[in-house]
Amino acid sequence: MVTEHSDAAEDTSALALKILVAGGFGVGKTTLVGAVSEIRPLRTEELLSEAGQLVDDTDGVDQKVTTTVAMDFGRITIRSGLSLYLFGTPGQDRFWFLWDELAQGALGAVVLADTRRLEDCFPAVDYFEHRRIPFVVAVNCFTGARPYSAPDVCRALDLDQGTPVVLCDARDRASGKEVLIRLVEYAGRMHTARLLDSVG
């Protein structure tokens, strides 16, 4: 009986936070969620069609054969009592109507960026800035892409002062986990500052 009671107490003290993973088409959102998730990730991918070629810019991601049409979902435990639920957003403009639903209740977001197509992450940056949702920019370092420093990317995207920019490999679990930890720390500071402002 004591064991059951302690298990219940642990369950009620556990914290689950909602995180969005956003960015342009083909930037690695599905890859990141799949790499870090400790459960088999839920994916809603479909094969790219000839009709989609008219609206999906595959320049620079010629090897891409599928695309997310609703969302990706995964879960990762950061430490005992703290889990993150990851929701990967679709990257194409025609699926942006889903973003408002996915963003409800989110602690923050990761905006994945590809320096070969940096302009593709502008809509995600604008979306989270306008809604005051804390986010970090994670530069997915693709093989063969020209390397840029975090300050270079920050200037190119004209980010608000203090918005973190981190370099990562979306295929690597440890790298992806480090991005998520940075986001949770940053979002925690932002939410605390806003709370203090509201009572000040």
pLDDT of residue 13: 63
Is residue 3, in this structure, part of any structural domain at all?
no
Taking the C-alpha atoms of residue 190 and residue 200, their distance in angstroms, rounded to an integer, is 15
What is the pairing mode between strands 82-88 and 15-23? parallel
Query: How many domains are there within the chain?
Result: 1
Is residue 60, in this structure, part of any structural domain at all?
no
CATH number at residue 30: 3.40.50.300
Is residue 51, in this structure, part of any structural domain at all?
no
Structural contact between residues 108 and 181, judged by C-beta atoms closer than 8 angstroms = no
Is residue 183, in this structure, part of any structural domain at all?
yes
How many other β-carbons are positioned within 10 Å of the β-carbon of residue 12? 6
Is residue 6, in this structure, part of any structural domain at all?
no
What are the φ/ψ torsions at residue 144 (nearest 5 degrees)? 90, -10
Tell me the pLDDT of the chain (200 aa) as tens digits: 444 444 444 455 689 999 999 998 889 999 999 999 999 988 665 554 454 454 445 455 455 445 544 578 999 999 899 999 999 988 766 667 788 989 999 999 999 999 999 999 999 999 999 999 999 999 999 988 888 999 999 999 999 999 999 999 999 999 999 999 999 999 999 999 999 988 86
pLDDT of residue 116: 92
pLDDT of residue 54: 47
* Domain of 93, in residue numbers: 15-46+66-198
**pTM of the predicted model, to two decimals?**
0.80
Is residue 85, in this structure, part of any structural domain at all?
yes
Is residue 52, in this structure, part of any structural domain at all?
no
Is residue 179, in this structure, part of any structural domain at all?
yes
